[in-house]
Structure 1
Amino acid sequence: MFNDRLRSTRISRGVTQQKTADAVGMALRHYQKYESGEIEPDLRRLVTLADFFNVPTDFLLCRDDYLKALGVSVDVSLECPPRRPKSRKHQ
């Protein structure tokens, strides 16, 4: 899924969510919604993210078979720490 691929790419590149949000010109909370899967970027923002991380847009869109068919490989570790569970406020 896009959100997992985006998170893995960011972590592999050693960049914080805040630095990514700043680099692509958006609020941190808005960027966090990309990584949580709440929303997905429009095409312009997708290209901006791909350019920032120096990866093809197809990589962020998980089109690995297509990239492989073209002979394109991307140096990004897809291993990343598990997500923290969302905290629930007690009523």
Structure 2
Amino acid sequence: MQVYTRIRNLREDHDLTQAKVGAVVNVSQRTYAYYESGQRMIPPHVLCALADFYQVSVDYLLGRTEKKETNR
């Protein structure tokens, strides 16, 4: 699924560790690693937190659009 690739690419583009992003969304590094690898589904509240953190839309994270910008 595209969401896993997108969250990994965004993290790497921002030169962040899994631990740092995990702390931002209030999960452990291990849990965040599971999200990136697709071993766990990403809860909606975490998707929203990631979208806010990276200033992209949830639709972008989910692969529903190529447009990163939010409508804010």
Match of 1:56 in 2: 57
How many residues in Structure 1 have an aligned counterpart in Structure 2?
Answer: 68
Please name the residue that 2:68 is paired with. 74
CA distance in 2, matches of 1:74, 1:2: 13
Equivalent position SS for 2:46: helix
Q: Please identify which structure carries the higher helix content.
A: 2
Unaligned runs of 5+ in 2: none
Q: Relative CO higher for 1 or 2, CA cutoff 8 Å, sep ≥ 6?
A: 1
Structure 2 CA distance for aligned equivalents of residues 35 and 27 of structure 1: 13
Deviation at 1:74, TM superposition (A): 2.5
Note the alpha carbon deviations across 1:54-73, whole angstroms, 9 max, x for none. Answer: 11111110112xx6xxxxx3
SS at match of 2:39: coil
Which TM-score applies when normalising by structure 2? 0.84
Higher radius of gyration, 1 or 2: 1
Q: Within 1, Cα distance between the matches of 2:42 and 2:54?
A: 15
Amino acid of the structure 1 residue aligned with 2:14: R
5+ residue gaps, structure 1, are: 68-72, 76-91
Cα distance in 1, alignment partners of residues 15 and 60 from structure 2 = 18
Regions of 4+ moved over 6 Å: none
